[in-house]
Amino acid sequence: MSIWKRTASLAQLNQLSENTVVSYLGIEFIEIGEDYLKARMPVTANQVQPARILHGGVSVVLAETLGSVASVLCINEDSGKQPVGLEINASHLRSVPEGGEVVGICRPIRIGRQVHFWEIELQDQKERPICSSRLTVMLRDAK
């Protein structure tokens, strides 16, 4: 059974991200499952630190993007609610060099009426874990 309350295609999710930090970093949504959302991101000069490895803050942007979009998909369009990130943490487990690729998968820990908790796991192109993150999203009244 699907956790999603909104129907969206990958093309719609990617179009929604145009002209944002998401598109600037090359983040692309690639899969919507029954209980997960997946995206990938290339590791280019735009995403690395001076040592030419993926910047940890960029990993956090990918994680928060996945969790925030997942929360949008988990609320009814007429709910009058807007998801906003409340807290995020990230444990960086392995570096990814420039020229690599990162894939993130987001799954719910808990989907409540006012707060969503997400677990986001990032992997390199060899499917090795590179970052483990948790995101808390609050549903506030839309303005």
What are the residue boundaries of the structural domains of the chain, listed by start?
A: 10-141
- Please give the pLDDT value at position 107: 98
Query: What is the rounded distance in angstroms from the CA atom of residue 138 to the CA atom of residue 140?
Result: 6
Catalytic sites, residue numbers: 64
- Please give the pLDDT value at position 50: 97
Q: Per residue of the chain (143 residues), what is the pLDDT tens digit?
A: 899 999 999 999 999 999 999 999 999 999 999 999 999 999 999 999 999 999 999 999 999 999 999 999 999 988 899 999 999 999 999 999 999 999 999 999 999 999 999 999 999 999 999 999 999 999 999 87
Burial of 57 (0-12, 13-18, 19+ CB in 10 A): exposed
- Please give the pLDDT value at position 134: 98
DSSP symbol at 52: S
- Please give the pLDDT value at position 1: 85
Positive or negative, the CA dihedral 9, 11, 17, 21 is: positive
- Please give the pLDDT value at position 142: 85
Burial of 125 (0-12, 13-18, 19+ CB in 10 A): middle
Strand stretches in 51-128, DSSP E: 81-92, 101-111, 115-124
Superfamily of structural domain 10-141: Hotdog Thioesterase (3.10.129.10)
